[in-house]
Amino acid sequence: MKPLDPRLLRHARAARGVLLIGAGLGALRTLAILAWSWLLAQALAVAVLPVLGGLGGAAGRVSEGALPPEQLPWLLLGALAALCIRSAASWGMDAVAARGAVQVKSQLRAAALDALDASSPLREGPSDAEQATVLGRGLDALDGYFSAYVPQLILTAVATPLLVLAVLIADPVSGVVVLIVFPVIPVFMILIGLATQAVQDRQWAQLQRLSSSFLDAVSGLATLKIFGREGRQSARIARETDEYRSRTMKVLRVTFLSGFVLDLAGTFSIALVAVTVGTRLVDGAFPLALGLFVLLLLPEVFIPIRQVGAAFHASTEGLAASTQVFDLIERGADARVSAVDAGEGVLVDAVVLSRGGRRVAGPVTLSADPGEVVGIAGPSGAGKSTLIAALLGFIAPEEGRIARPAEVAWSGQRPGLLQGSLSENVALGDSRPDAALVQRALAAVGLAGLDPETQLGATGAGLSGGQAQRVAIARCLYRAWSRDAALLLLDEPTSALDAENEALVCRALREEAQAGRAVLVVSHRPAVLAAADRVVRVEPAAALGASGAAGGTTATGQEEGA
């Protein structure tokens, strides 16, 4: 887990502004600290030296470098002004960090959602519950990272070297002691950080398991109640909740321990320097004003590194979530839609497809000309949906060539309905839905009786499974008509339909072919395959080994008449 992941600057441009503005404010704050320490030290020396002289304690170099007593009001006024500047700079850093946190979260969420939108439906990655946890609760934890950790990190990088240099110039002996004892704190930070990362990773993984269990229970609640199993799921969620509570307490224990250790190390370091300064003051070998300046400056040297350690441990949840968000964004960037050749119809020429380094289909050869309905059949797992994903450009073929029209209308195995009106779901992606086309698309799939303004719940709640599937087909038709798409791709469009509605959908697909479009449909249903002009059978890639080697077979796509 990196204190500052470079990918944050790459994927969230607002983070760059936070660091640049924060560095400027941190430098201003450091200069104010130096001025405040010097002015206050001089004011204290001016006020105390007459008293020490009267007691006989200002011998040697103790009064060296002290200003005249008349300067005391100006010294106090200057110290107050420096304190105000320091406070204003600190407030500015916190405000910039808080505003930056909002912008960074927004940019990371937008980039992650764009990556999900551009990735393949067959992508391998986190579950929906894990993604919701990362993009919701996980990114919200970045508030603590930016409001507490980032300002202290900036101060550590900007202020600490300047303050150490100031101590070294003011008193080389104290500066050398600081340089010797200072590395102790980063060593403790690293050791405690390793322990914190381990417990934090386990807590984050437990939170994701809890989220997945809850989402699964909610989505299947109706089925669980039918079979009387809701009590078991409730008990399982309670166990995982208790486990998450236990892991959270472990994280808090390590966090408090880290704060104690860092404070202890810092206190010992300051005390060691203070003893050397005090000894020389008592011996009369050190000016009082300079000694006070060094003593006032010492806590400021160690405060940023101590606080950055404590803040880092308190913000590890946001760091863990941001790491997963970066992985999600980069997976989406790697899975951008691949280029396919342009053509009037569909041509798949000896295409080999792989997922996760394993061949799942191919070589496949098929074609679909305008005006044709071509069915794709084959056993489950043969790679039919993977072939559709390749036609959509979500998967790049390892071998072979794919050509298809530029505009494609698609309907997948899952309806993918969203909360909103029926009309918005049919015209998904269209900023100004055409009401006439929406009504026509619904009528084509036998849903003319539904009001287009009917409001659907989450994931299309309010419709039966068959109705939801027909709404997805209506969406495909709407896109074909509104974008003049030359190709329709449908994956198991009638798996949840009865024979009557299945015949209605087959008739709608035939009408689209007669209108000059190419229609490619994946199905196990005999009625759909019987309605196609041709059927291409796709066999599992593993089944080709013996036949391919012995008989010279070069394609898994075998055409047969419908």
The average confidence (pLDDT) of the chain is: 80
Lowest mean pLDDT among 19-23, 28-32, 263-267, 406-410: 263-267
Strand pairing class (408-411; 399-404):
unpaired
Residue 496 phi, psi (nearest 5): -110, 15
Mean pLDDT of 485-497: 90
- Over residues 228-240, the pLDDT tens digits come to 777 888 888 888 8
- Over residues 459-470, the pLDDT tens digits come to 777 888 889 999
Two tokens, residue 417: 């309905």
pLDDT at 558 over 60: no
Bigger pLDDT: 377 or 13? 377
Cβ burial, residue 137 (10 Å; 0-12/13-18/19+) = middle
Mean pLDDT of 551-562: 41
pLDDT band at 504 (very low <50, low <70, confident <90, very high): very high
pLDDT band at 359 (very low <50, low <70, confident <90, very high): confident
- Over residues 385-436, the pLDDT tens digits come to 888 888 887 777 888 888 888 888 999 888 888 888 999 999 988 888 889 9
Cβ burial, residue 553 (10 Å; 0-12/13-18/19+) = middle
Instruction: Give me the helices (H) in 427-525, please.
Output: 435-444, 465-483, 499-514
Two tokens, residue 134: 């990362």
Strand pairing class (399-404; 557-561):
unpaired
Mean pLDDT of 196-220: 76
The percentage of residues in the chain with a pLDDT greater than 90, rounded to a whole number, is 20
Two tokens, residue 99: 């505003």
Cα angle: 82, vertex 84, 86; to 5 degrees: 70
| CA pair distance 235, 397, nearest whole angstrom | 46
- Over residues 523-549, the pLDDT tens digits come to 989 999 999 999 998 887 654 443 333
- Over residues 81-127, the pLDDT tens digits come to 999 999 999 999 888 888 888 888 888 888 888 877 766 655 556 66
* Per-residue confidence (pLDDT) for residue 334, from 0 to 100: 56
Closest of 92, 72, 73 to residue 32, by C-alpha: 92
Closest of 280, 261, 289, 327 to residue 126, by C-alpha: 327
pLDDT band at 54 (very low <50, low <70, confident <90, very high): very low
| CA pair distance 213, 87, nearest whole angstrom | 47
Angle between helices 288-314 and 316-334 (to 10 degrees): 60
Cα angle: 447, vertex 448, 451; to 5 degrees: 95
Two tokens, residue 500: 């009557």
Bigger pLDDT: 280 or 130? 280
- Over residues 330-351, the pLDDT tens digits come to 776 555 555 566 667 788 888 8
* Per-residue confidence (pLDDT) for residue 546, from 0 to 100: 39
Token pair 């939801």 is at which residue? 468
Two tokens, residue 119: 């990735």
Strand pairing class (346-355; 358-368):
antiparallel
Residue 410 phi, psi (nearest 5): -135, 145
| CA pair distance 489, 513, nearest whole angstrom | 12
Give the DSSP letter string of 409-445: EEE-SS----SEEHHHHHTTT-SS--HHHHHHHHHHT
